[in-house]
Amino acid sequence: MSAFWWAMARFLASKLSGRRAKFLQRSAQDRRRPPSHFPTIWTSLHRSPPPCLPDILHLGAEPQHLSPAQLRTLKAEFPGVSLMRSIPVVDENSIDLARSYEGIADFLLLDSYRSGDRQVGALGVTHSWELDRRIVKSVRTPVIIAGGLGPENVRDAICAACPAGVDSKTKTDKSDGSHTKDLQKVWAFVTVARRLNCGTI
């Protein structure tokens, strides 16, 4: 679980009376699975008896494997689930890509991308915060920024891009390769972000 989700889960738990915050997110180890793996999202959500649906579904597939039209279909079938779509921040085309999900995705997650990956993000490297800022200003959808963010640089990222939220995966993991969170790093990350007091979670 990334630092964003850790903080968001605590936030929602404090705001939602008796309702449990649930999230469904693909792991970094899934990045090289074939596109045929992605329809399992629909299969999982359609299980009988009805499953415990997540409040927010994070979809990190490469754009060519999950289009705005497909996201719209998913949204129509599960209107009670908020959809967060990852956007690879690479160049000017990333701005148009983010706009293409306007009115469909409930959140946009701007993340780093490596050519050839089928998943966006979980690389531990930063990208252009200037592009992030331009995307934030060009859409009405709440934008969360990610990509190599940790306690040491999250303040600069927020000041540069003015996002609705920030996310950290790699830079707040333990250094033992277990992909589990280092809670001291998570605490430091959340503390720095909240000190800015500008509406960023």
Tens-digit pLDDT profile for residues 103-112: 999 999 999 8
User: Quick check: is 20 in a domain?
Assistant: no
Q: How many domains does the chain have?
A: 1
User: Quick check: is 152 in a domain?
Assistant: yes
d(CA 201, CA 195): 10
Buried b (16+ CB within 10 A) or exposed e, 184-200: ebbebbbebbeeeeeeb
The reply to whether the predicted model has a pTM over 0.85 is: no
d(CA 68, CA 72): 6
Domain of residue 122 covers: 3-14+52-195
The answer to whether the CB of 2 falls within 8 A of the CB of 173 is no
User: Quick check: is 79 in a domain?
Assistant: yes
With a cut of 70, list the residues of the chain below it in pLDDT: 1-51, 121, 197-201
Expressed in angstroms, the distance from the first to the final Cα of the chain is 15
Question: Of 186, 61, 201, 180, which Cα lies nearest the Cα of 121?
Answer: 61
